[in-house]
Structure 1
Amino acid sequence: MPTPETSDVLLQEFLADPAHLTLDLSAAVARCTRALDLQHAVVYLVDLQQRHLVPQTDVASSMPVDGSLAGWAYRTQALRVEEAETGGVTAWLPLLDGAERLGVLAVHASALTSATLTRGRALASLLAMMITSKRAFEDSFVRHTRTEPMHLPSEMLRAFLPPRTIGNSHVVSTAVLEPAYELGGDAFDHSLTQTTLHVSVVDAMGHDLASGLTSAVALAACRNARRNGADLPTLVGSVDDALARWLPDQYCTAVLAQLDFETGLLRWSNCGHPAPLLIRDEQLITDALEREAEPPMGSPAQLSASPRRTHETMLEPGDRVLVYTDGITEARTREEKLFGLERFADYVIRATAGGELAPEALRRLIHSILDSQSGGQLRDDATILMFEWRPPTR
């Protein structure tokens, strides 16, 4: 049996060996598990709609995110332990890449000790980084996390999307987008600099490949301006110009926002989009971010005589801001009733009051909307992006 010292040496040798960079995931898991003196480990990745945890091996079965201990670890981002059927224990550890939830890691050991947990957490951290680095070019990860074929417009748009969740010690931003395999023109983006969270939600006209291309160009123009150091008004103008130049017959509505997470100053521009919602102290602050409507992005903006406006407000610690597309509020239940703004806000408020993490609150909300639809299908794209300002207590 390896001692702690030899385990450290084996792990160091693995990391120092350039060959590990080309290993497939199962081989890397096996080598790391032996190096850390663990009995066995299995990686489970969450599917695209966050309903199932899919094992990356043929010797295990998928498990539901709702209704399993593994799913509990995923939902709460916390350790869960149970007795294994073959003896010993199984520790379920969340696989996290920063704030992004990838799935869970099952670590099987003869007994639960502090050393086992430390090594299991180290393995989970290492594998999360490996998965993130490889899934952009290894289709095996994508295939494992899809439950049905994806339409071409959706394939194109998803290539542009960032991780579902990003964050740091001051702020977290998380998003969901449905229908997962049949997207038309909805898209989102979020990113972090040293002091600022940047978010974008766009909704392109139509529901076809041209709509997806419109959103893709809007996101690309937004990122290009942002990475060149543009301020918010210049960034908005860059997107307008790009769409008017390259896709003059297309347009999209959008909310583009920047949050200074040191001070809580929120700046945003609303281009023909539903107004963002502000939830504070478990209450919806009615019309807090409501402003006079402006033209959609693209050619309509070029025809307007008025310049784009940028709005500002100060957030308070714990505030949650929701940016969404009208596919959310205009979704209909099986009884043909609108899901509506009040029901939407009420769900988020109850999730906040229950202490749910932001990514979990959105996961459950979008499933609630989908499950209430006839046939489980939305009539239009539905996107929600929520960010929460949570500065450290001074």
Structure 2
Amino acid sequence: MSTSDPDGAALWRFLADPAHLTMDLRTAAAHAARALGLRHAVVYLVDLQQRRLVPQTAVAPPVAVDGSLAGWAYRTQSLRVEESGTGSVTAWFPLLDGAERLGVLAVTDTALTASTLTRGRALASLLAMVITSKRLYEDSFVLRTRTEQMRLPAEMLRALLPPRTIGNGHVVSTAVLEPAYEIGGDAFDHSLTDTTLHVAVLDAMGHDLASGLTSTVSLAACRNARRNGYDLPELVRSVDEALSRWLPEQFCTAVVARLDLVTGVLHWANCGHPAPILIRDERLIIYAMERDADPPMGMPSLLTSRPRRTHEIPLQPGDRVLMYTDGVVEARTREAKLLGLERFADYVIRATAGGELAPESLRRLIHSILAAQEGRLRDDATLLMFEWRPPAG
């Protein structure tokens, strides 16, 4: 707290006043910064494709995620400080909702002391909670972080998707989906309990509203089954039955998986989908999870009497598992050649090398794939990667 308010009474009054609950972000940020004795603070949120940091509480130009100190704070989730030509100093704090990267907070003053930095971190934590709460129902956040109009199927699917990144002390799971504004049938899901990470990547037939409906029903069926305590074969069967009942002409491929956070044992089911890739010690073990796939989810699976199969593999601490849709390997390079699994594997090696955080590795990976074909994909491309990192000892 400021030296004139050593007990933080101004902040406590701000938090205790029910009026702060209905303040817009700009007003809440200004009041909270003043209560903490900070001279000037600006919130920047990242855009949908994680290319720009867009100011929310002041009139200022967007800042590129790549090639700026603000972007460095976002990419590394760490503090960065820079001096301006006017003699002031700006500290860039990452804005985090758990493991999810929201953007950055800029705190500017004539000088930055240890106390100022502590108060800046406190403000970043407080505003991240405010943003997470308000962006569920305030369209202003959406409007400021989109760079183009979104198609209806994409709007429907994105309303159901979870945060890009989730995690706890044992695991982090992160995902990206392109084309960001035109997705039709791809979707992902991840969630946590005290002992388990649940993940799924789906690819519905087609690229239209019906495809989006197929993925939406499949995601809802997955969530309903796991929240009812079903095991993986029962979960997949629940999706089969939901699709065959409500969308009998539709189907989707998928990988659904559960990771035991204590033992590192991974169970998964593959329903007509590309096999996940295991990354260990910065090396790709491409075929470690290669198994014969079951039929896609939906009506095709009900035409066979063979029960759904699950597979098992023990992970080692630090292992990363990458799940993807076929739109990734079917993308074309600048030379108009299919990307293919071999080229894709090379992209993964380069993107995950150097000990980067998993969300940053995935951000760079999808941008590399987009750059190789001048930003246009022939099909939806979804990537989900999770890293098991149990506490030492």
* TM-score under structure 2 length normalisation: 0.98
* Alpha-carbon distance between aligned partners in 2 of 1:197 and 1:341, rounded to the nearest angstrom: 26
* Alpha-carbon distance between aligned partners in 2 of 1:53 and 1:154, rounded to the nearest angstrom: 22
For residue 283 of structure 1, what is the amino acid of its counterpart?
Answer: R
Tell me the equivalent position of 1:387: 386
For residue 390 of structure 1, what is the amino acid of its counterpart?
Answer: R
1:73-94 alpha-carbon deviations (Å, 9 max, x no partner) = 1011100001133322100000
* Alpha-carbon distance between aligned partners in 1 of 2:364 and 2:244, rounded to the nearest angstrom: 38
For residue 385 of structure 1, what is the amino acid of its counterpart?
Answer: L
Tell me the equivalent position of 1:289: 289
Over aligned residue pairs, what C-alpha RMSD do you find? 1.2
Q: CA deviation at 1:3?
A: 2.8
* Alpha-carbon distance between aligned partners in 2 of 1:280 and 1:129, rounded to the nearest angstrom: 34
1:19-42 alpha-carbon deviations (Å, 9 max, x no partner) = 101000000010011111111000
Tell me the equivalent position of 1:5: 5
* Alpha-carbon distance between aligned partners in 2 of 1:238 and 1:51, rounded to the nearest angstrom: 38
Q: CA deviation at 1:298?
A: 0.4
Q: 2:160, 2:216 within 8 Å by CA — same for their partners in 1?
A: yes
Tell me the equivalent position of 1:186: 186
* Alpha-carbon distance between aligned partners in 2 of 1:111 and 1:43, rounded to the nearest angstrom: 20
Matches within 5 A, 1:82-231: 82-231=82-231
Deviates more, 1:7-16 or 1:118-127: 7-16
Q: 1:254, 1:273 within 8 Å by CA — same for their partners in 2?
A: yes
Distance 1:29 1:85, change over 3 A: farther
* Alpha-carbon distance between aligned partners in 2 of 1:187 and 1:95, rounded to the nearest angstrom: 25
For residue 319 of structure 2, what is the amino acid of its counterpart?
Answer: D
Tell me the equivalent position of 2:346: 346
* Alpha-carbon distance between aligned partners in 2 of 1:46 and 1:304, rounded to the nearest angstrom: 46
Secondary structure of 1:219's partner?
helix
Secondary structure of 1:92's partner?
strand
For residue 103 of structure 2, what is the amino acid of its counterpart?
Answer: G
Q: 2:52, 2:65 within 8 Å by CA — same for their partners in 1?
A: yes
Tell me the equivalent position of 2:365: 365
Q: 2:46, 2:103 within 8 Å by CA — same for their partners in 1?
A: yes
Unaligned runs of 5+ in 2: none
Matches within 5 A, 1:183-332: 183-332=183-332
Q: CA deviation at 1:7?
A: 6.2
Secondary structure of 2:386's partner?
strand
For residue 393 of structure 1, what is the amino acid of its counterpart?
Answer: A
Q: What's the % identity of the aligned pairs? A: 76
Q: 2:351, 2:364 within 8 Å by CA — same for their partners in 1?
A: no
1:105-164 alpha-carbon deviations (Å, 9 max, x no partner) = 000122111100100000000000100001010000000100000000000000000000
Q: CA deviation at 1:58?
A: 4.5
* Alpha-carbon distance between aligned partners in 1 of 2:296 and 2:235, rounded to the nearest angstrom: 15
* Alpha-carbon distance between aligned partners in 2 of 1:39 and 1:216, rounded to the nearest angstrom: 46
For residue 276 of structure 1, what is the amino acid of its counterpart?
Answer: P
1:333-385 alpha-carbon deviations (Å, 9 max, x no partner) = 121112221222223223333111110011111111111114x2101000000
* Alpha-carbon distance between aligned partners in 1 of 2:245 and 2:220, rounded to the nearest angstrom: 14
* Alpha-carbon distance between aligned partners in 2 of 1:237 and 1:8, rounded to the nearest angstrom: 55
Deviates more, 1:291-300 or 1:281-290: 281-290
Tell me the equivalent position of 1:43: 43
Q: 2:42, 2:58 within 8 Å by CA — same for their partners in 1?
A: no
Unaligned runs of 5+ in 1: none
* Alpha-carbon distance between aligned partners in 1 of 2:251 and 2:39, rounded to the nearest angstrom: 56
Q: 1:257, 1:267 within 8 Å by CA — same for their partners in 2?
A: yes
Secondary structure of 1:5's partner?
coil
Distance 1:369 1:286, change over 3 A: closer
Deviates more, 1:157-166 or 1:350-359: 350-359
For residue 172 of structure 2, what is the amino acid of its counterpart?
Answer: V
* TM-score under structure 1 length normalisation: 0.98
* Alpha-carbon distance between aligned partners in 2 of 1:344 and 1:193, rounded to the nearest angstrom: 32
Q: 2:25, 2:57 within 8 Å by CA — same for their partners in 1?
A: no
* Alpha-carbon distance between aligned partners in 1 of 2:285 and 2:72, rounded to the nearest angstrom: 32
Secondary structure of 1:127's partner?
helix
* Alpha-carbon distance between aligned partners in 2 of 1:40 and 1:5, rounded to the nearest angstrom: 17
For residue 98 of structure 1, what is the amino acid of its counterpart?
Answer: G
* Alpha-carbon distance between aligned partners in 1 of 2:264 and 2:311, rounded to the nearest angstrom: 14
* Alpha-carbon distance between aligned partners in 1 of 2:162 and 2:98, rounded to the nearest angstrom: 13
Secondary structure of 1:221's partner?
helix
1:162-196 alpha-carbon deviations (Å, 9 max, x no partner) = 00000011100000000000001000000000000
For residue 381 of structure 1, what is the amino acid of its counterpart?
Answer: D
Secondary structure of 2:93's partner?
strand
* Alpha-carbon distance between aligned partners in 2 of 1:232 and 1:85, rounded to the nearest angstrom: 59
Distance 1:4 1:356, change over 3 A: farther
1:263-282 alpha-carbon deviations (Å, 9 max, x no partner) = 00000000000000011112
